[in-house]
Amino acid sequence: MANKIEVLSEKCTGCSLCVKSCPFGAIVLVDRPEHPKKQKLAVIDVAKCNYCGACVDACKRFGAILMLKEEKQKAVDFALYKDVWVYAEQRHGEVSPVAYELLNEGRKLADKLKTHLCAVLLGDKIENQAQDLILHGADKVYVIDNPLLKEFCDDPYAETLAHLIREEKPEIVIMGATNIGRSFASRVAAKIDTGLTADCTALDVDVSTRNLQQTRPAFGGNIMATILTPRHRPQMATVRHKVFKRATRDTSRKGEIVKKNYDFSKLNPGGLDFMNRAKFLQFVADTTAKVNLSEADIIVSGGRGLGKPEGFKLIEELAETIGGAVGASRASVDSGWIPYSHQVGQTGRTVAPKIYIACGISGQIQHLVGMGSSEVIIAINRDPEAPMMKIATFALEGDLYEIIPWIIKEIKKSRGEIEFVK
């Protein structure tokens, strides 16, 4: 659908109701000296307008704003679209681990479709990372190096990727369901008029139709839904971190690096003013996490069963003793016991450590979705019927405030550590 919006000057009274209703600041009032009553006229900046219709509703009394929708009659020519693309997310010049997971899965999709696997790298002075993407499976890497892309901001990144997609016409585009991916993947999909399936946990293709089969949890994780985009191209999906294995590095691989240069003042009708609507101020690192939760081999998580925020001191002690990271259930995060950055589950981090220790976590489906791929699951809980206890590799029934100190003591004893008790 293509939207058009216009102000009927003969009906506009300059009342400013539309200005107040616009959440995007896209409407201003201008003087009309030629008007008999010197009334002002509402003017809409289409570069800022999101066509939400709020101004139309506000102007119902006067009917001075019209929004028309036109059907696009031209069908998408699927023959023009080829290749599987992986968006290689980077922060501060370092490619995110999820990009290498997507390259592993993207390679499988590309091989089934007998097409190329391409990576897209956006940033400033990041061309040196392109060769590593080739060694991890990419046949071609598109590099767009520009100071405007040094730090992630939605507008310039979305405009750049959308322009590149229109230009090169990939068949499939997959991105990580990270904070960055979730932030601008939907903007890209809207700009190129296609669908987007978010937070996928599995991908496959129907070779006969070349449709991407995008599987994700639905209805609170109670069912798994497989979603198709049969009438649009490219097909877009974001994928959770840690659901796929990392691609292996092959130093013998060869590939092509394609450098693209765009005039950012012309990518959007709003020019650089549009690109700079939001500015990056500073990066504030999370100093509460001693070990990266997403990359940890061992995770010790606490839940509502801790009973009090002080319980996380015990969780942190166990994690430190065994060299693990601290995780948490949504209930404990919602209670304000620990920051959101530690949350594991459907609305938090997806993890797949070698060992996951769940302390006082009942194991609702939303939490299991985020850690169910762990190699070994150890559950500590008073309730033997808790879902987590039933899926656990080892289930320890009892008071966690007795069990965890005992585990810590035994580990230290096995290491020959001496505890001094005052």
Each residue's pLDDT tens digit, 196-214: 999 898 999 999 999 999 9
Q: Where in the chain is the domain with CATH 3.40.50.620?
A: 78-275
pLDDT at 71 over 60: no
pLDDT at 85 over 60: yes
Task: Tell me what pLDDT residue 291 has.
Answer: 62
pLDDT at 89 over 70: yes
Task: Tell me what pLDDT residue 414 has.
Answer: 80
pLDDT at 219 over 80: no
Please tell us whether the domain made up of 2-70 is placed in CATH 3.30.70.20.
yes
Mean pLDDT of 140-144: 96
Segment among 2-16, 178-192, 249-263 with least mean pLDDT: 2-16
Task: Tell me what pLDDT residue 362 has.
Answer: 93
More confident residue, 307 or 349: 307
Inter-residue contact 217 to 201 (CB < 8 Å): yes
Residue 34 banded pLDDT, cuts 50, 70, 90: confident
Task: Tell me what pLDDT residue 417 has.
Answer: 56
pLDDT at 70 over 70: no
Sequence-separated (6 or more) residues with CB below 8 Å from residue 209: 230
Compute φ and ψ for 44, nearest 5 degrees: -105, 125
Residue 118 banded pLDDT, cuts 50, 70, 90: very high
- Architecture of 298-414 per CATH? 3-Layer(aba) Sandwich (3.40)
Task: Tell me what pLDDT residue 1 has.
Answer: 45
Each residue's pLDDT tens digit, 402-416: 999 999 999 988 876
Task: Tell me what pLDDT residue 251 has.
Answer: 93
Segment among 46-55, 138-147, 172-181 with least mean pLDDT: 46-55
Task: Tell me what pLDDT residue 272 has.
Answer: 77
State the chain's mean pLDDT as an integer: 89
Residue 295 banded pLDDT, cuts 50, 70, 90: confident
pLDDT at 29 over 50: yes
Residue 350 banded pLDDT, cuts 50, 70, 90: confident
Q: Where in the chain is the domain with CATH 3.40.50.1220?
A: 298-414
pLDDT at 311 over 70: yes
3-state helix/strand/coil string of the chain: CEEEEEECCCCCCCCCHHHHHCCCCCEEEECCCCCCCCCCEEEECCCCCCCCCHHHHHCCCCCCEEEEEECCCCCCCHHHCCCEEEECCEECCEECHHHHHHHHHHHHHHHHHCCCEEEEEEECCCHHHHHHHHHCCCCEEEEEECHHHCCCCHHHHHHHHHHHHHHHCCCEEEEECCHHHHHHHHHHHHHCCCCEEEEECEEEEECCCCEEEEEEEECCCCEEEEECCCCCCCEEEEECCCCCCCCCCCCCCCCEEEEECCCCCCCCCCHHHHHCCCCCCCCCCCCCCCCCCCCCCEEEEECHHHCCCCHHHHHHHHHHHHCCEEEECHHHHHCCCCCHHHEECCCCECCCCCEEEEECCCCCHHHHHHHCCCCEEEEEECCCCCHHHHHCCEEEECCHHHHHHHHHHHHHHHCCCCCCCC
Residue 73 banded pLDDT, cuts 50, 70, 90: very low
Mean pLDDT of 371-399: 93
Task: Tell me what pLDDT residue 359 has.
Answer: 96
The domain made up of 78-275 has a fold known as: Rossmann fold (3.40.50)
Stated pTM of the model: 0.67
